[in-house]
Structure 1
Amino acid sequence: MLSLPSDLTIDLTSLLAGVSLTAIGGWIASFVALRKDERAVQLEQVTKERTKWRDNMRKLCEDIATTYVENKASPIPAKVASLRARLETSINPKDKGHDGAILAHYDSLFSGESDDLKVFAHRIALLLKHDWERVKWECTPLYIKPFKRFSKKQRAWRRENYREIDG
């Protein structure tokens, strides 16, 4: 049998401090790991959805251009309405500025008020580029963001007039 010395005393304060520090360290490590995993899942899902959205917007712009060129003389109302509905549901309905300008330009193309398909495609290209820059920023690791936040490229796409058409 193992016998313990009679002068062995347990310092309860030291024991509680050790257990407390270990528990707090475990909780902090768990929180950091959970946050990292949540962020990874969020970035993956958001990035995938935005990639699909950008691909759909490219296809939609192509369909609009094809419909416009093929039916310039007499547009098919059902096709025009269908494309407008797809466009309207693919962009931000609350953005009366840039996204509203895309819809207004679409309407002027098919009403005959405008025939500048290049400007319409350019508006869509700026929308896609702006979204691409946002995705890249969101995927940038947190420890790198402070160094890149005020770079010339970051300031450019964050400007309010980034999506404005020149001229």
Structure 2
Amino acid sequence: MESNEILAAILNSAVIASMITALFSKAQSDKSAKIDNIIKERKAWRDKLRELVAEVETYTQEQNLKGIASAEARLVVLLNPVDRDDLAIIKALNKIPAGWDKECLQEFMDRVSYLLKHDWERAKQETTTRISPQTLALASFFLFLVIITSERTLLEWNDVHDLNLKCKNS
């Protein structure tokens, strides 16, 4: 290989490495923005649910029907209106005034607890990187093969082109 070809290969590799680095930096930046915005909002949502459960417990002890109705109104806007598990939470809350017993309250608290746990696990999963080291290594190897193949093809094309020029000049 001539020194020009070696320099071209090094420059091509550097450009591609820079592009890969830029892509991963962008992915990391997007992930940070998601964590800062979405995850913080979901934490606030979980905190509101916890506070609401504590209020419902107090309203149950006081047998405060207006308090339960107020809690239901706030709960309805915090939950998904088409999710059957979320609707079951509201139904469990509505059972409490029927007898003001601990079992209905416990069912309500258990259902909210499961929802909070599910959301917490989902939040943890969303903050993890989805690109494994194996995937990164495989992508880098594939890129290396593409570079080598394209440089080889370019060199072969240049040899043919140079040969054609020599034939025309002869």
Paired residues for 1:31-110 under 5 Å: 31-71=23-63, 75-76=65-66, 79-96=67-84, 98-110=85-97
Of the structure 1 ranges 16-25 and 85-94, higher mean CA displacement relative to structure 2 is found in: 16-25
Tell me, yes or no, if structure 1 residue 136 matches structure 2 residue 128: no
Q: 2:111 aligns with which of 123, 137, 161?
A: 123
Q: Which amino acid aligns with 1:106?
A: L
Structure 1, unaligned stretches of length 5 or more? 1-8, 145-167
**Root mean square deviation, CA, Å:** 2.7
> Aligned partners of 1:81, 1:120: CA distance in 2, in Å?
14
Aligned residues: 129
- Does structure 1 retain, via aligned residues, the 8 Å contact 2:63–2:100? no
Larger-gyration structure (1/2): 2
TM-score by length of 1: 0.64
Secondary structure of 1:31's counterpart equals: helix
Task: Calculate percent identity across the aligned residue pairs.
Answer: 31
In terms of fraction of residues, the more helix-rich structure is 2
| 1:83 to partner: Cα distance | 1.4
CA distance in 2, matches of 1:106, 1:87: 9
Q: Say if 2:72 and 2:93, in contact at 8 Å, map to a contact too.
A: yes
Report Cα offsets for 1:13-66 as digits up to 9, x if no partner.
Answer: 766655444333222211111111111221233322222111111101111121
Closer, same or farther: CA 90–130 of 1 in aligned 2, 3 Å: same
Write the distance in 2 (CA, Å) between the matches of 1:109 and 1:37: 47
Q: Contact conserved, 2:46 with 2:116, CA < 8 A, in 1?
A: yes
